[in-house]
Structure 1
Amino acid sequence: MRQRPARRHLAAILAGALAAVASIASAEDRALIVTARDYASLPDAPETRSIAFLGYRLQELGFEVRAFRDPRAEVLRGEMGRAVDALAASDRLVILVSGHVVHNSRDAWMLTTDASVLDPFAAGAAGVSIGALVDIAGDVAKAHPGRVIVAVADSDARLEPRLGLADGFALGAVPEGVALLAGPPRLLARFLDEELLVPGRSVAGAMRRAPAAIRARGTVSSRPFLPADNAQDELEESFWRRTVEADSIEGYRDYLRLFPEGRHVEEARARLAVLEETPQERARRLEAELDLTRNQRRDIQRDLKRLGYYDRAIDGIFGRGTRSAIARWQDDNDFDATGFLTANQITLLDRQATEKDDAAWQEAQEEDTPEAYRRYLEAFPDGRHAEDARARLAALGPRLPPVPEDVRRAAAARERALGLTPPFRRLVEFRLAALGLEPGPVDGLFDERTRTAIYLYQQDHGLEATGYLDRATLASLALGAVLR
């Protein structure tokens, strides 16, 4: 019987997972633990005991543990050589170091209990080179990447080393395949015991639950550091690794069907949601990930307005009007008209608006007339050159030819009939000022400058130019609806 593609996919992943489970042999798991608590000359470090106690936990997990507690430099030098030979043959390796730690730009040392002089020369003689331990771990990791952990727990005491040394441990370069962890002794010991040294748990999975004080560098693998407790768990982890590698809708669905209560259910559902989302949903998510501020949204609305796609309030709220404007702009620029922007689209939109603004300003400068600057301000009331346009208008000055007396009286009567209130008059002045027509103070009192501004507006818009307001002028100013 011929298998369907989805079933062939499941069969292939299961076959690979079963092969991986079958390959798990009795690995040579080893651990080296070096801790210093009772110092002869320096302050004691009782908190390092929590790291030393991890030796019992590692033995329960099947590790061959070599531990050095409160070592003296001379004794440790002889013992470490023999310990290193055994470490080199490890299939899985844990190195734990805890005590007073000092470092320079090249290396770091855990000081032995007989250390007394804190200078660069004494540190090398009376300390364990953490850099050397990391290098040993790197050699093991060449054959077993992701199965090597080095953890350094600096004591709580604050030392004052001499010139050339600094107190504490600094994470440096780490060989490929090694995870280097650092943190306070008690906190790091608890993290290792409860999170990382858990069968089936990966370093990456454990670090997602790590306290902020615990730092990691190097290979933070997503593969389990210790094999799962039983074949079912091992099968799940192997199946999950192959599912992630394939990264397909069918793979994640198969995982959820086979392991409905598995360790990676939430991750599988989250990734499946991304793979299954529609183009519109994906566009919405990508814009949300930009985390645009209110001011950034206002800038986008201004750009859309300058390009003629948007004619509503600049309020930073992306409602139906803004989304529709974005979609029209996207369609005109050969993008999918989703109404949601990407970072690249925002950059292009801003560039187009800037170019149009600059071109209009250059045209106004070349003409250099009040009409040209008013046209610019009407198109770009808050444009890049709006202040310069208003300044140039003021420099050119008003031009108001005389209006026949009978025409003036009739126009004044029509304006009085409108019954304009002081707040409405201020609104008119504000609108005229925004257009660069210099109506004078926005105080609701129509003086000669206000009349000149009204006259110029009427003249520029093909209205009867009298210097007095009428319904046609208010409608052109987009204030007719306010009056009603």
Structure 2
Amino acid sequence: MQQPSSPTSWPWQGGTVSRLVTANATIEPEGYLPRGFVFAPPAPQGRLPTQAEQAQETAVWQGAVALDTVAAYESYLRTYPNGRYAIQAREAIAAIQDEPFRAERLAEDRLALSREERRAIQRNLSLLNFDPRGIDGIFGPGTRGAIRNWQQQNGFAQTGYLDADQIARLEAQAARRAAQLEAEAERQRQAAEAADRAFWEETGARGDEAGLRAYLARYPEGLFAADATEQLARIEARNRAEAEAADRAAWDRARQADTAEAFREYLEAFPEGRFAAEARARLDAILRRAEEAEGRAAAEAAEAALGLNTLTRRVIEQRLAALGLDPGAVDGNFDAGTRRALRAYQRDRSLGATGFLDEATLVRLLADTLQQALDR
């Protein structure tokens, strides 16, 4: 900085560089100023600032807000210690210093994660057994806690905020876990199929009514369920043809009513009747359906709470079809074929075979879809 020719003419002894430059047109400032330093002249003391000076102070303040750093706010305060924004500047400095992981929060904010990207992070955490307390795309206390737990297990600082590298690592871990779970599901499917075949050989394969009913009671949707049902239909037809008239009439009445009370009345009248075994089986089925109806209502409510749109339903049907579970038409309409495919999927993965989606089943299905996409 070039100095005035006569040092004795300096009236600003103890003042700021800004005031020095402003008061003397012969001084030309040059050199380096650190980032965040704001260079602007203060309003002369002893009078109100002019409109231009006020506008200049506002511009300096807006620059500090844009930088939003302690250095920027302190630079404003050095120039305007009693300025119009001095209180706000000091409050902003205190807020920054009081936030322990501000840099990490701002770094995550800069990623501008979409709602679906946040849901994907929550699904990945859930898949790795870090419960985010919901998969809704909102990073509340549950999600932040799950992130901190994941960071601790993986050797990161427990900030509760993610950067791009951590998100990529989390996704890779979830994809690997999804592959492991799918492999285990395939092993369980093969084991279940082997058990189904073995049970059939000891029951329904012998062709007697008791064996066929025993098989269907254990595997109502098993590999041989259609064959067992067809054989039982022929046996029942033969039994009806051979039954005595009274027995037949009572049985027909019970069949027509098709209620638990009607079948109880038949069994009371003909405890050893030709249709007694079928009557007991039908009575058990009615009672079982009544119990299942209660569970079905709860399962329906849980699926409805997920708020699935048509696109998501189609993705689910496509995934079931890709697994060879035959959900029927991929149209977003969960019909009987879709429910049957869902039950098979849930049964093979020990998820509770209701035939309706819940959060755990949805996480697995979407994780399977992610893994399939990565495999491509």
TM-score normalised to structure 2 length: 0.42
Higher helix proportion: 2
User: What TM-score comes out, normalization by structure 1 length?
Assistant: 0.34
